Amino acid sequence: MAVSNSDLVAGWKTVLALCNLRAGEQVAILTSDDSHPQVVTTCQIACGEMGAIITLLALPPLNGEKALSRDKSGFVGKTALETNRVALAALKSSDLIIDTMLLLFSPQQAEILKTGARMLLAVEPPEILLRLLPTRADQARALAATACLQQARQMTVTSDAGTDFYCELGEYPVLTQHGFSDNPGKWDHWPSCFVATWPNEKSARGRIVIDRGDILLPFKHYTREPVELTIEQGIIQRIDGGYDAEFMRAFMDSFNDPEAYAMAHVGWGLMTRAHWTTLGLYDKEATIGMDARSYAGNFLFSSGPNTEAGGTRDTPCHLDIPLRNCSLSLDGKPMTLKGRVVADDQR
């Protein structure tokens, strides 16, 4: 159901207050041709009513001739900031950046965050933003899970479908998302609530089974038959199964980049108001699938780049795959059990 401008302005004010926006701060709203106009307009109104000094930056889209779809997460890491020194300088001078374009995985995003700017990504449609409005309780769950991940040295994931995955941890930082950016240099994503990290290099191994009803992103597709991934030394070596497996292989092969097959971040969802069914209610171009990435108890793993964590794998091919009904443990301590969050401080 559509939402009114007034409701979305109120939602923005809630999120901006959680981002510690103060009157007189410099706020840059970064847009492109495919930014949602209602999201941009209501953000501008909310920032103005809260006394911010606003700069609107509209950059042209990039890589349209290379990307296989219009989805913002279907070809990542390359943006117009790569050659636009004026826009990059403006963003580095900002206190808070609202990104409706998607800078994620780009080296420019990391460069900007090093200046101390706070950055919030917001690319979902208004009705998803409002339904998944972040709260302090979301932050508390995410921070509790973050503390567990930071201390852990091993992750295991199993499922009745056949998943039996292992990796070592500690080489890379923890990615914490709870829907607002409240500290200097912090990036976050509205809407979102999950934690993840990257396996130590060459440590990921075992089998991941994508079962019927699990979701393939950015395809926004519910699998109809199991897909089995064989992982050795941090690389997806085999993708076995029927049509869905063939589809995955063909997509990843189209990038002609062996780094597309590397394991990337692994973690679990913590958003109690997100649902794995929501994706089936939307046109594929209407959402990037944050319900699927965030719903509580999922095992979310990805493939491709690790530049977001300070690594060197800079490939534009990035898949996010949230699995249901998995049991995830850190150093033998359960975080989820058959798709339910069981850690007391994360429920």
Instruction: Report the C-alpha gap between 11 and 34 in whole angstroms.
Output: 21
pLDDT of residue 67: 52
Instruction: Report the C-alpha gap between 171 and 176 in whole angstroms.
Output: 16
Picking from 94, 108, 110, 111, the residue whose alpha carbon sits closest to that of residue 24 is 94
Q: Given phi > 0 = left and psi -120 to 50 = alpha, else beta, which region is 339?
A: left
pLDDT of residue 316: 84
Domains of the chain in sequence order: 5-131 (3.40.50.2300), 136-346 (no CATH)
pLDDT of residue 71: 60
The 10s digit of each residue's pLDDT in 269-306 is 999 999 999 999 998 888 999 999 999 999 999 999 88
Cβ contact 76:104 at 8 Å: yes
Q: Identify the bridge partners of residue 295 per DSSP, sorted by sequence position.
A: 271
- For 85, other C-beta atoms within 10 Å of its C-beta total 9
The 10s digit of each residue's pLDDT in 172-186 is 999 999 999 999 999
Instruction: Report the C-alpha gap between 287 and 127 in whole angstroms.
Output: 10
Structure tokens at 146: 């973050």
Picking from 187, 191, 30, the residue whose alpha carbon sits closest to that of residue 101 is 30
**CA dihedral for 174, 121, 114, 18, sign (positive or negative):** negative
**CA dihedral for 10, 94, 59, 175, sign (positive or negative):** negative
Q: With a cut of 90, say whether residue 79 has pLDDT above it.
A: no
* Banded pLDDT at 65 (limits 50, 70, 90): low
Q: Which helix (H) or strand (E) holds 156?
A: strand 154-159
pLDDT of residue 105: 72
Q: With a cut of 70, say whether residue 64 has pLDDT above it.
A: no
pLDDT of residue 57: 96
Q: With a cut of 80, say whether residue 197 has pLDDT above it.
A: yes
Q: Collapse the DSSP code of 152 into the 3-class scheme (helix H, G, I; strand E, B; otherwise coil) and give the result.
A: coil
Segment 126-144 shows an average pLDDT of: 97
**Residue 200: CB partners within 8 Å, gap ≥ 6?**
167, 168, 169, 170, 171, 172
The percent of residues above 90 in pLDDT, for the chain, comes to 82
Cβ contact 248:237 at 8 Å: no
The 10s digit of each residue's pLDDT in 199-258 is 999 999 999 999 999 999 999 999 999 999 999 999 999 999 999 999 999 999 999 999
Q: Given phi > 0 = left and psi -120 to 50 = alpha, else beta, which region is 220?
A: left
Instruction: Report the C-alpha gap between 78 and 74 in whole angstroms.
Output: 11
Instruction: Report the C-alpha gap between 12 and 50 in whole angstroms.
Output: 10
Q: What is the mean pLDDT of the chain?
A: 93
Segment 90-119 shows an average pLDDT of: 92
Structure tokens at 53: 């000094």
pLDDT of residue 73: 56
* Banded pLDDT at 311 (limits 50, 70, 90): confident
Segment 92-117 shows an average pLDDT of: 92
Query: Residues 133, 282, 279, 141: what is their CA dihedral angle, to the nearest 10 degrees?
Result: 0
Burial letters 182-201, b for 16+ CB under 10 A, else e: eeeebbbbbbbbbbbbbbbb
Q: With a cut of 90, say whether residue 310 has pLDDT above it.
A: no
pLDDT of residue 69: 57
Distance set, CA 87 to CA 29, 32, 59, 90, 169 (Å): 11, 13, 8, 5, 37
Range of weakest confidence among 55-69, 96-110, 138-152: 55-69
Instruction: Report the C-alpha gap between 154 and 329 in whole angstroms.
Output: 8
Instruction: Report the C-alpha gap between 327 and 255 in whole angstroms.
Output: 32
* Banded pLDDT at 78 (limits 50, 70, 90): low
Range of weakest confidence among 64-73, 99-108, 247-256: 64-73
pLDDT of residue 74: 55
pLDDT of residue 63: 54
